[in-house]
Structure 1
């Protein structure tokens, strides 16, 4: 137990022992500057410098185009191309679907699979003769609530 106490005191004494770092002009031996240091100060300074250097490097890589040079990160132009290709693929799929429906309809007509639709002429004539004045255009309660919400929402938007 006494041995441990001696080691701790010796270690603490080494950490706190003062040293002087002097920088001299070699030609004239003139003292340019000097520092009073101990091992603890050097250790703390080195640790803080390493943490700062790591943080600076991380920030530099994360928020600048340098990240494109790290394997695993894709370039911004590649991401833009991927998004554009996704939009084009989606629109092409929709166009293909419409074309497939059109071709299927033409095949039905050519093969004679078209079903005849019963058409009631009286209902068409009736719909054309309806009076426009009969339609109720007064706002409903839900419509009024929606209009109030939109007007409040747009109040501060120019």
Structure 2
């Protein structure tokens, strides 16, 4: 049944028990609901019955989230190589790549979205590094330039 909100809400210091706005009413309702749930969960964990005797009808279970894809090294090499050449795939290219790598099209779509987001983050970090270097005085820049390169890993 839909929740009915009070038609006249009392002001913040109006003295009435009605919430100040529909948003406040919603917050009050959810906080009471969650407080009740928390209490029931705690009591169930302790082996006691939740308040009100037996638990009421349980809400339908949420759909389980799909597990994280573990790409093989070969799949990652091919995905990275394709990404270097082409940041966005046409549906035909995407389907062909997915079939060749034995992946679902959704996995290829998600991988490319995540890889573009990573590229964007990396570029923003690089821009910030360059900006901070530009802010250094010339003497500090010369000192940095004179430093030896670190050994390769």
TM-score by length of 2: 0.22
TM-score by length of 1: 0.21
Question: Structure 1 or 2: larger helix share?
Answer: 1
Instruction: Return the index of the structure with the highest Cα Rg.
Output: 1
Question: Structure 1 or 2: larger strand share?
Answer: 1
Structure number with the bigger relative contact order (C-alpha 8 A, sep ≥ 6) is 1
